[in-house]
């Protein structure tokens, strides 16, 4: 819970900076509800026996306004930039912020949501806590469209307005349709040879029914993955990974991924929250699907569930302290606000990786 408070106030600071970067009043993005809802995705990627045949998370863009992410020291997160995958290397104490589709939509492409993925690796576990700022599937009639303040006769709206639940329907079920104006470039899922002789959905369900979890497979000592984890070479190697950091010094400026260090969240809180995610996933638990990771989703706002709804292992680290309501948390420190106009760059330590 303590982390939740920090993440909410950091989220509001980021929205102020982004509002100012768009030439709007600092409260604009907050006032239209961009930090109204948020949910934690607590990810656990066990060491993978065949890391070259699957991914932790396939290529995607986040279906939210923006995301605040903390990761442990195991490398894996990559961002697509100019047709190359670039590692977002772990840096102790830093948090990662990235723009999601909904900010791209309302900013009329001034901010770009960006493709990213997580590689599976033979070392692990990789642990991350991903906070998605969106009201997600909660019913809402609120329509989001390119902000009229950003439009003019010369700058027409690039996107149609949509409610968040409607946008999600197109994101989940028909990538590329509906809001095709979002130019959503979904992960290619062309069948592999195995898929042709293998009923993937049935196998995934059977795996889920065993309640083994991905970690459960590792505990069982498997040397080969169940075939439904295998991804086609076309998906795995759609672009080369760039290893020369000097080639992408322009990267943060162009793309919607930032590494933030002076975020005001105490180091011990970051550490405790990642330890909590790890502890949760290292208990016996149920499985969820066919990416090389296990996930726990906690919706934190606008409706915060009572602490007893949370799995015990997490409660101690970030649910244990008193539960507050949306809008709590300290005002952003003055230093952030003064820096606003100069955009997010002053919050950023260095280029990637
Ligand atoms: O685990 C990570 O670092 C990122 C996962 C991710 O991209 C997501 O949950 O949207
Ligand atoms: Fe993501």
Q: Who's near 309: CB < 8 A, 6+ residues apart? A: none
pLDDT of residue 338 exceeding 90: no
Smallest CA separation from ligand 1 atom 2, residue: 128
175 CA distance to ligand 1 centroid (A)? 18
- Interatomic CA distance for residues 306 and 248, integer angstroms: 44
96 CA distance to ligand 2 centroid (A)? 11
Phi, psi for 5 (deg, rounded to 5): -60, -45
What is the pLDDT averaged over residues 270-297? 78
What integer pLDDT is reported at residue 51 of this predicted model?
92
pLDDT of residue 272 exceeding 60: yes
pLDDT of residue 340 exceeding 80: no
Q: Which of 39, 66, 98, 118 to mutate to test ligand 1, by most ligand atoms within 8 A of the CB atom?
A: 118
Where do the domains of the chain lie?
1-180+199-350
Phi, psi for 340 (deg, rounded to 5): -45, -50
pLDDT of residue 190 exceeding 70: no
118 CA distance to ligand 1 centroid (A)? 7
Q: Which of 43, 214, 278 to mutate to test ligand 1, by most ligand atoms within 8 A of the CB atom?
A: 43
ipTM score assigned to the predicted complex:
0.99
Residue 84 near residue 239, CB atoms below 8 Å: yes
Shortest-distance ligand to the CA of residue 117: 1
- Interatomic CA distance for residues 157 and 162, integer angstroms: 13
For residue 84, how far is the Cα from the chain centroid?
A: 19
> Does domain 1-180+199-350 bear CATH number 2.60.120?
yes
The answer to whether the peptide bond before residue 81 is cis (omega within 30 degrees of 0) is no
61 CA distance to ligand 2 centroid (A)? 6
What integer pLDDT is reported at residue 258 of this predicted model?
74
| Predicted structure pTM score | 0.78
- Interatomic CA distance for residues 13 and 24, integer angstroms: 14
Phi, psi for 99 (deg, rounded to 5): -80, 140
What integer pLDDT is reported at residue 327 of this predicted model?
26
Ligand 1, residue 56: give the atom nearest the CA.
Answer: 1
Residue 42 near residue 120, CB atoms below 8 Å: no
What the block records as the tokens of 11 is: 């989220």
pLDDT of residue 228 exceeding 60: yes
Q: Which of 69, 80, 296 to mutate to test ligand 1, by most ligand atoms within 8 A of the CB atom?
A: 69
Lowest pLDDT segment from 117-121, 238-242, 251-255: 251-255
What integer pLDDT is reported at residue 191 of this predicted model?
41
194 CA distance to ligand 1 centroid (A)? 27
Q: Within a 10 A sphere around the Cβ of 42, how many other Cβ atoms?
A: 24
Higher pLDDT, 152 or 219: 152
Higher pLDDT, 306 or 77: 77
What is the pLDDT averaged over residues 142-167? 91
């Amino acid at each position: 819970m303590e982390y939740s408070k920090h993440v909410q106030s950091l989220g509001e600071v980021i929205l102020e900076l982004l509002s100012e970067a768009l030439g709007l009043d600092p409260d604009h993005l907050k006032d239209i509800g961009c930090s109204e809802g948020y949910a934690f995705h607590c990810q656990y990627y066990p060491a993978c026996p065949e890391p070259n045949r699957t991914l932790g998370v396939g290529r995607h863009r986040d279906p939210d306004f923006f995301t605040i992410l903390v990761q442990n020291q195991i490398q894996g997160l990559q961002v697509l930039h100019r047709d190359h995958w670039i590692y977002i290397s772990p840096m102790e104490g830093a948090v990662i912020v990235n723009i999601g589709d909904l900010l791209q939509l309302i900013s009329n492409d001034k901010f770009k949501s960006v493709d990213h993925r997580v590689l599976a690796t033979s070392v692990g576990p990789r642990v991350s806590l991903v906070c998605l700022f969106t009201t997600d599937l909660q019913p809402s009639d609120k329509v989001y469209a390119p902000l009229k303040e950003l439009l003019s006769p010369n700058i027409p709206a690039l996107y149609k307005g949509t409610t968040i639940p409607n946008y999600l329907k197109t994101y989940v079920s028909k990538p590329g349709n509906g809001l095709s104006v979002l130019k959503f470039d979904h992960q290619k899922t062309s069948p592999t040879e195995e898929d042709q002789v293998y009923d993937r959905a049935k196998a995934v369900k059977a795996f889920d029914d065993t309640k083994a979890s991905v970690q459960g497979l590792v505990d069982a000592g498997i040397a080969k993955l169940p075939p439904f984890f295998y991804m086609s070479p076309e998906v795995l190697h759609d672009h080369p990974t760039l290893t020369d950091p000097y080639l992408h010094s322009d990267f943060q400026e162009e793309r919607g991924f930032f590494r933030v260090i002076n975020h005001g969240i105490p180091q011990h809180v970051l550490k405790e929250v990642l330890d909590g995610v790890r502890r949760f996933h290292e208990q016996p638990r149920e499985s969820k699907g066919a990416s090389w990771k296990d996930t726990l989703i906690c919706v934190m706002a606008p409706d915060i569930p009572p602490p007893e709804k949370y799995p015990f292992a997490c409660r101690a680290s970030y649910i244990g302290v008193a539960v507050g309501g949306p809008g709590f948390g300290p005002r952003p420190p003055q230093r952030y606000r003064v820096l606003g106009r100069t955009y997010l760059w002053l919050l950023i330590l260095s280029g990637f990786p």
